Amino acid sequence: MTTFPIDADRLRAEAVAILRENDLGGYTIPTRGLYPFQWNWDSCLVALGLAHVDEDRALGEIETLVAHQWPDGMIPHIVFHADHETYFPGPDVWGTARATPTSGITQPPVLGYALRRLLDTARDRTMVAPRVAALLPKVAAWHRWFATARDPHRTGLVAILHPWESGRDNAIDWDEALARVPTEGVGSYVRRDTTHVDAAQRPTKAEYDRYLWLVQRFRSLAWDQATLHDASPFRVVDPGFNAILIRSAEDLAALAQALDAPELAAEAQAQAARGRTALEGLWHDGLGQYAAFDRAAGTLVESASIGGLLPLLALEPGHPRAQALVARLAALRGAVRHPVPSHDPADPRFDRLRYWRGPLWLIANRLVADGLARHGRADAAGEIARDGLALVAKSGFGEYFDPLDGRALGGKRFSWTAAMVLEFLETNRA
Ligand code: GLC
């Protein structure tokens, strides 16, 4: 466990300064240079931090994102509000033909979850409630899109069709499925990420080739979301992603109930219930946690990542699997100096530096802490919050961190890290 004096005022001031710096007017970029556009789940999580400072701006962040929802209901993973040479693949590679260019894939649907937190903690409920109410039909449309486009055979669980959709881009969970993606015809390209960040902390070229092949394949299908699922060689059911969707459906139901939209509430409740039942199919006895399911191969993936712990967010309180996940987390916390690693360090594939193959991410910690609190472990949740604050006080607002020595990795002055610091300062005080 970390011990380091925490100067809360200094941390708060620095977090607020970073969010201001990365505010390009109505939307917040993750960080300058490396990620110069609006990212979907970054913005929703950033809104949680902004809410402690400026509730109007927090809602604006989400409204700007949702304004770029596709007619079919999908909310894209990137909105390219302005041109930037510092990022690849840019709008031309995606070729989605949207008025304001966007990518053609999505990201973990934390939107419903974020909106509920914004309303539950609102200081100015008169301002916040109607704006949240206006967003609910759009959240519902996105969730409906998931239930059809990403679960066309009605299993109760949705697949991601690209590793970038998971938000955990190069997780070990995707290795086998990604290895089956061809690379013919990808052509040559120049990556920009490795000009901003040490290549040892980023995905490999072999991974990038396949990321691009998938984008090109989907573009050749004119981004017709109804056809992509069955046409993609990469179809993986991520327990973390599904847990987030189930939780957002539960939160949407609660919001709809509170804001006088009973039909939406019933629909969202039913979607959450279907998801919860189906989630059980992702339990992996050998790993003692949930695991991804490779839908194209029909097998559970042998990979103990943080994705398999996120169902804590969605399981009903008292669910028998929750205790097992709490125990897994306790073991992981004992295995590294700075929890929670994004992958089990006992696995030989663990890599302390490389992105989602080992490093700890404050947003994942925030979600895990929420899950622990949901299952009666406010003590463990509080420790995660305090560890995170001490880590940032020592190492700065990095994109992610080495779980063994705590050094900051990836992009610097990172928005969602700043937002999670504001969240942790608040939950810690509460
Ligand atoms: C990386 C992360 C993803 C995040 C994005 C912007 O792609 O893996 O989760 O949304 O960067 O911060």
Edge-to-edge strand order for the sheet containing 299-300? 236-237, 293-294, 299-300
Distance from residue 260's CA to the centre of ligand 1 (Å):
35
Pocket perturbation via mutation, ligand 1, pick of 19, 31, 35, 417 by most ligand atoms within 8 A of CB: 35
Distance from residue 264's CA to the centre of ligand 1 (Å):
30
> In this predicted structure, what is the pLDDT of residue 1?
46
Q: What is the mean pLDDT of residues 405-428?
A: 97
Task: Summarize pLDDT for 172-218 with one digit per residue, the tens.
Answer: 999 999 999 999 999 999 999 999 999 999 999 999 999 999 999 99
Q: Is 169 labeled as catalytic in the residue annotation?
A: yes
Residue 283 phi/psi, 5-degree rounding, is -70, 135
Is 30's C-beta closer than 6 angstroms to any atom of ligand 1?
yes
Contact in structure between 332 and 341 (CB atoms under 8 Å): yes
> In this predicted structure, what is the pLDDT of residue 429?
81
* Dihedral (CA of 146, 150, 154, 155) sign: negative
Whether residue 4 is predicted with pLDDT greater than 70 in this model: the reply is no
> In this predicted structure, what is the pLDDT of residue 5?
63
Is 35's C-beta closer than 6 angstroms to any atom of ligand 1?
yes
Distance from residue 280's CA to the centre of ligand 1 (Å):
28
Percent of the chain's residues with pLDDT above 90: 97
Residue of 169, 175, 176, 302 marked active site: 169
Q: Which residues of 228-246 are buried (b: 16+ CB within 10 A; e: fewer)?
A: bbeebebbbbbbbbbbbbb
Work out the angle at residue 107's Cα, subtended by the Cα atoms of residues 152 and 147, and round it to the nearest 5 degrees.
20
Per-residue pLDDT band for 291 (boundaries 50, 70, 90) equals very high
The secondary structure element, H or E, covering residue 20 is helix 8-21
Is 414's C-beta closer than 6 angstroms to any atom of ligand 1?
no
Per-residue pLDDT band for 85 (boundaries 50, 70, 90) equals confident
Q: Is 399 labeled as catalytic in the residue annotation?
A: yes
Residue of 151, 267, 399, 402 marked active site: 399
Distance from residue 259's CA to the centre of ligand 1 (Å):
32
Query: Which atom of ligand 1 is found nearest the CA of 356?
Result: 8
